[in-house]
């Protein structure tokens, strides 16, 4: 599977204000997610966010929320069970691939990845933009998703798959974002 700019969406899962202080290396995960969002925005790739029970966990970090075309409030750990797939299709019916990043890796991120895969989406995850309270839980989630044939990509792997060529009209702009990381 190669990730295609024209058929993919970026899903940013639960970077919530009351949750993030307890996430191991949470600020690094947010920084990677913001990088992904900047690139996706430059390439006109839809960006959707989710918030798990925002009354309890707060809303998403404002920097994340600012990039999202839409933020879906959910109560199921699996965002696909709370309308995420419908939101993706309403955004662009041509979307067949989803790239996920978020928290917690072993709960909402993993269950959403598996749920979207069951619905027929090609799913990829960017581990450096994900987090869990316990590092071991993130490691186990990445392993389980990998066993389920969910692709694991670094942020730069993803970006260069989206670009495909140095002749892409946004290549120089995206290269600046990479160099400023």
In this prediction, residue 88 carries a pLDDT of 98
> Total structural domains in the chain?
1
Task: Domain of residue 114: give its range.
Answer: 5-179
Place of tokens 């970090």: 61
pTM of the model: 0.97
β-sheet with 47-52: strand ranges across: 70-74, 47-52, 8-13, 97-102, 122-125, 151-152
pLDDT, tens only, 12-54: 999 999 999 999 999 999 999 999 999 999 999 999 999 999 9
Q: 101 and 130 in contact (C-beta within 8 Å)?
A: yes
pLDDT digits (tens, 9 = 90+) for 126-173: 999 999 999 999 999 999 999 999 999 999 999 999 999 999 999 999
Structure confidence at residue 85 (pLDDT): 97
Distance linking the first and last C-alpha atoms of the chain? 26
Residue 165: partners with Cβ closer than 8 Å, 6 or more residues away: 171
Average the pLDDT over 46-74 and give the result: 97
The yes-or-no verdict on residue 178 having pLDDT over 90 is: yes
Number of CB atoms found within 10 A of residue 140's CB: 15
Residue 1 binned pLDDT confidence (cut-offs 50, 70, 90):
confident
Closest CA to 145 of 18, 32, 56, 13: 13
Beta strand segments in 96-167, E: 97-102, 122-125, 151-152
CATH number, domain of 73, equals: 3.40.50.850
């Amino acid at each position: 599977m190669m990730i295609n700019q024209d058929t993919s969406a970026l899903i940013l899962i639960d970077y919530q204000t009351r949750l993030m202080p307890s996430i191991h290396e949470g600020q690094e995960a947010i920084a990677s997610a913001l990088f992904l969002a900047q690139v996706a925005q430059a390439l006109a790739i839809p960006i959707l966010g989710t918030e798990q029970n925002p009354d309890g966990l707060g809303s998403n970090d404002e920097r994340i929320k600012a990039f999202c075309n839409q933020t879906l409030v959910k109560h199921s750990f699996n965002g696909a069970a709370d309308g995420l797939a419908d939101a993706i299709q309403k955004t662009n019916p041509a979307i067949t691939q989803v790239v996920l990043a978020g928290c917690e890796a072993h709960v909402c991120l993993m269950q959403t990845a598996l749920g979207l895969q069951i619905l027929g989406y090609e799913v990829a995850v960017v581990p450096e933009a994900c987090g869990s309270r316990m590092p071991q839980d993130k490691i186990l989630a990445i392993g389980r998703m990998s066993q389920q044939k969910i692709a694991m990509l670094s942020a730069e792997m993803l970006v260069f798959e989206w670009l495909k060529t140095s002749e892409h009209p946004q290549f120089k702009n995206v290269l600046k974002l990479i160099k400023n990381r």
